[in-house]
Amino acid sequence: MEAATMAWTAAVVGVGLVYWFVWVMGAAEVKGKRAVDLKMGSITRDKVQDKYTQYWSFFRRPKETATAAASAEKVPDFVDTFYNLVTDIYEWGWGQSFHFSPSLPGRSHREATRVHEERVVDLLGAKPGHRLLDVGCGVGGPMRAIAAHSGSNVVGITINDYQVNRARAHNRKAGLDSRCEVVCGNFLSMPFPDASFDGAYSIEATCHAPRLQDVYGEVFRVLKPGGLYVSYEWVTTSLYRAEDPDHVDCIQGIERGDALPGLRRQDEIASIAKEVGFEVLKEQDLALPPALPWWTRLKMGRIAYWRNSLVVRVLTMLRIAPKGVSEVHEMLFETAQHLTKGGETGIFTPMHMVLLRKPVATATEEAK
């Protein structure tokens, strides 16, 4: 073959491969965000690498850094940075619901996610006309499922303004914007009046709070008396041993790759809820058998991760994705290994469910 023909063939094959990786395979989640649209939230392209370095130095030793009083105040800002860095990658590689769910035999991930979200509606007894609060709403996957399934109105709050815009756009596209509202704010001090919600829920979000009392206290304040609150909590289980270096390494890996200021123990949750005034109606680790593993979705995707890393690297080389995205992707890849290990060993669960009620007459009212 002539040199010119060979060069042409190589060029055509090269362009074809790039097209295949980026546009065809790059849409990791069916009909999801495409790899070519990966931005880094509200961070400008030139600041991505710096922001990632700042995030990493803050959360590298999560418990020591983030629980010290002075640093605890900074946690929401770093959580905001974290979600600027990961939101598009999550949407691209996972979907619009940023949480886990037990696998369901013969059902897709999408269906299993739905079922896990609709369980919240059943627990809350949510009805048309109810006003529900979604504490830490992400880009609103659960909010839309819950509004559609229950007929309720949902108000979501997230610290990250990029997520607010994404969630609003998704709500409009789903035709749910008249019943789903999204507010940018801190769930440790919420911009809502007392007793303004019929019910509330949080899905894998309150783990970002340095003190669970603070967010539970706020939910208690904004709920009407008699209102119910469901939370899916990330916790270590009774199998976790603080003296086992493998356990410590696994849990620290989860904390630093997920912007967590120290995971709580499973047995702490109910007592914190009671401390702020809630009645505890139910408590259950939804990951325990007969539930099927939640981590298989992470584990089975090794080939997909390898492909995704390649896509991200190629896009960075072509300057389509900003510099720093590969590092963020690598961090998530490592986090996935720690999460899988946490699930397999049973030392960690992302779905310790508590169902709480604000008493009809609160202690302060009774004292009057």
Ligand X SMILES: C=C(CC[C@@H](C)[C@H]1CC[C@H]2C3=CC[C@H]4[C@H](C)[C@@H](O)CC[C@]4(C)[C@H]3CC[C@]12C)C(C)C
Least Cα distance to 141 among 107, 166, 178 occurs for 166
If one asks whether residue 204 binds ligand SAM (CB under 6 A), the answer comes out as yes
If one asks whether residue 353 binds ligand SAM (CB under 6 A), the answer comes out as no
If one asks whether residue 335 binds ligand X (CB under 6 A), the answer comes out as yes
If one asks whether residue 203 binds ligand SAM (CB under 6 A), the answer comes out as yes
Chain Cα centroid distance, residue 260: 11
- How many residues bind ligand X, per CB under 6 A? 17
SS3 174: coil
Of all residues in the shown chain, the one whose CB is closest to ligand X is 93
Q: Which one of residues 66, 109, 258, 294 is an interface residue with ligand X (CB under 6 A)?
A: 258
Return the structure tokens found at 171.
């709500």
In whole angstroms, the minimum distance from the beta carbon of 312 to ligand X comes to 8
Residue 39 burial (C-beta neighbours within 10 Å; 0-12, 13-18, 19+): middle
Task: Count Cβ neighbours within 10 Å for each residue of 49-86 and write b for 16 or more, e otherwise.
Answer: bebbeebeebbeebbebbeeeeebeebbebbbbbbbbb
In whole angstroms, the minimum distance from the beta carbon of 187 to ligand X comes to 13
Residue 207 binding result from ligand X, ligand SAM, none, given CB thresholds of 5 to 8 Å by partner type: ligand X
If one asks whether residue 192 binds ligand X (CB under 6 A), the answer comes out as no
Cα–Cα distance, 140 to 147 (Å, whole number):
10
Q: Which one of residues 52, 58, 59, 94 is an interface residue with ligand X (CB under 6 A)?
A: 94
Residue 332 binding result from ligand X, ligand SAM, none, given CB thresholds of 5 to 8 Å by partner type: ligand X
Q: Which residues contact 107 (CB under 8 A, 6 or more apart)?
A: 115
**How is residue 23 annotated by DSSP?**
I
Q: Which is nearer to ligand X, 272 or 351 (CB)?
A: 351
Q: Which is nearer to ligand X, 99 or 130 (CB)?
A: 99
- Torsions phi, psi for 348 (to 5 deg): -140, 145
Site residues, ligand SAM (CB under 6 A): 76, 79, 83, 97-99, 136-138, 141-142, 157-160, 163, 186-188, 203-205, 208
Point out which residues bind ligand X (CB under 6 A).
Answer: 89-90, 93-94, 98-99, 204, 207, 258, 298, 305, 308, 329, 332-333, 335-336
